[in-house]
């Protein structure tokens, strides 16, 4: 075993700074907008609208805050039912509970790993028959791949269900030539430290509806009525993005396409080196769009590889390489077990077998070779 102190640790998806962020931050400092208002936020919102072609955007403190505001702006209230895939991060679910609404978990499609539109439609059909009202759905883009959003939005519209797309992981991905999130009533992206672009934190809510985004903007700033004194007719939040955070994100947004290319080449290199190993397979890329390749994810079929996902994760960890298991299903989370689940075993199987590999846009070929070597020798040992 190599000496711990001398081996450089490889992280899953560390922040990637362009270098000129500091110039933007300096500009923000010099303008003295050390605040949750300022030209950097305005500029970022405009650039996101241009990039995604979704015309309205409001910058907020996190992707989670954006989901919460999106639900409020779409009218999700106490007791309302909200469908969401079980295969997701809890940040897509917590805001449903902040609203005292009720999540309904659903299985994903084995072809896309995102919400299965057929299950979704079956559920809504049956719900209509027995008079169950569904208020909203949060389809989630996963590991950089868009969900089947046009399809989901069409079904949702037929049954009067609002669509809030959790595109936290998929900024820059496309679906039928449009930006991820485009076909939803509203969508969110995250700028958390592990995402493809980051402000250390941050999120944005986007929509084709000006009214919806303005409502969210109002609520994100403590819901201050237009009045010369502090007056409130509704309860809001302190969710507005900081001008400093916006300054960090803007130059990274400008380089998003290059970052996607880099992550794609990382994915392709893994695929070339590992896909011939019996029992190792890759997350499928749906033909309706392009992924941003946020994370490369493999599946380990232990009956063929002779080693489990967790054994591989541990052997990578022994070599100072961070990898992560795929999301533990929401319907299996101790805090969420009382809510209902609809579907089969796709999500559970993905959780048993899936492993996310280091995919940062600054990962060097030498680092990637180190990772590949550990995986190959784990396979070869058996
Ligand atoms: C990162 C992430 C979020 C939350 O974003 P934050 O900015 O960390 O609050 C929500 N949903 C998914 C699927 C995510 O990956």
Query: How confident is the chain (382 residues) per 10-residue block, as mean pLDDT?
Result: 70 96 96 93 98 98 98 98 98 98 98 98 97 98 98 98 98 98 98 97 98 98 95 97 98 98 98 97 97 98 96 97 98 97 98 98 97 94 67
Task: Give the pLDDT of residue 97.
Answer: 98
- Ligand 1 is surrounded, with C-beta below 6 A, by 62-64, 88-89, 91-92, 140, 166, 168-169, 190, 192, 203
The encoded tokens of residue 255 equal 């380089």
Task: Give the pLDDT of residue 7.
Answer: 86
Q: How far is the CA of 194 from the centre of ligand 1 (A)?
A: 9
Q: Which of 199, 224, 141, 127 is nearest to 175 (CA)?
A: 141
* Ligand 1 atom nearest 66 alpha carbon: 9
Q: How far is the CA of 65 from the centre of ligand 1 (A)?
A: 9
Mention every residue, 6+ apart, whose C-beta is less than 8 A from residue 116. Answer: 106, 107, 108, 109, 343, 346
Expressed in angstroms, the distance from the first to the final Cα of the chain is 19
Task: Give the pLDDT of residue 198.
Answer: 97
Q: How far is the CA of 42 from the centre of ligand 1 (A)?
A: 22
| Gap between the Cα atoms of 171 and 292, Å rounded | 7
pTM of the model: 0.97
Q: What does the longest C-alpha to C-alpha distance in the chain come to?
A: 74
Residue to mutate (ligand 1; options 92, 143, 220, 356; most atoms within 8 A of CB): 92
Task: Give the pLDDT of residue 1.
Answer: 47
* Ligand 1 atom nearest 67 alpha carbon: 10
Q: What is the DSSP letter of 58?
A: E
């Amino acid at each position: 075993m190599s000496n711990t102190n001398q081996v450089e640790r490889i992280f899953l998806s560390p922040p990637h700074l362009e270098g000129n962020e500091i110039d933007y931050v300096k500009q923000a400092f010099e303008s003295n907008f050390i605040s949750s208002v300022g030209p950097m936020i305005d500029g970022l919102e405009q650039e996101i609208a241009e990039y995604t072609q979704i015309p309205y955007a409001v910058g907020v403190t996190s992707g989670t805050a954006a989901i919460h505001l999106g639900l409020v702006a779409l009218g999700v209230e106490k007791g309302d039912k909200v469908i969401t895939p079980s295969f997701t991060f809890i940040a897509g679910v917590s805001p449903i509970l902040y609203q005292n609404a009720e999540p309904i978990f659903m299985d994903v499609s084995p072809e896309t790993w995102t919400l299965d539109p057929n299950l979704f439609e079956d559920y809504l059909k049956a719900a209509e028959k027995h008079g169950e009202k569904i208020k909203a759905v949060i389809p989630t883009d996963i590991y950089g791949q868009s969900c089947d959003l046009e399809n989901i939005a069409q079904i949702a519209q037929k049954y009067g269900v609002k669509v809030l797309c959790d595109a936290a992981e998929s900024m820059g991905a496309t679906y039928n030539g449009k930006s991820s999130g485009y076909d939803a009533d509203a969508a969110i992206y995250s700028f958390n430290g592990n995402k493809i672009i980051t402000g250390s934190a941050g999120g944005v809510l986007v929509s084709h509806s000006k009214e919806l985004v303005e409502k969210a903007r109002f609520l994100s700033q403590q819901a201050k009525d237009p009045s010369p004194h502090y007056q409130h007719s509704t309860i809001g939040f302190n969710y507005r993005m900081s001008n400093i955070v916006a300054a960090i994100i803007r130059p990274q947004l400008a380089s998003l396409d290059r970052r996607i290319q880099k992550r794609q080449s990382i994915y392709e290199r893994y695929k070339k080196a590992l896909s011939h190993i019996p029992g190792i397979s890759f997350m499928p890329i749906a033909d309706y769009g392009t992924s941003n390749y946020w994370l490369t994810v493999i599946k380990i079929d232990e009956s063929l590889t002779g080693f489990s996902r967790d054994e591989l994760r541990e052997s990578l960890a022994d070599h100072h390489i961070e990898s992560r298991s795929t999301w533990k299903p929401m319907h299996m989370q101790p805090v969420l077990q009382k809510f209902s689940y609809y579907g089969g075993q796709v999500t559970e199987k993905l959780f048993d077998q899936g492993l996310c590999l280091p995919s940062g846009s600054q990962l060097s070929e030498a680092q990637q070779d180190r990772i590949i070597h550990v995986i190959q020798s784990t396979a070869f040992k058996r």
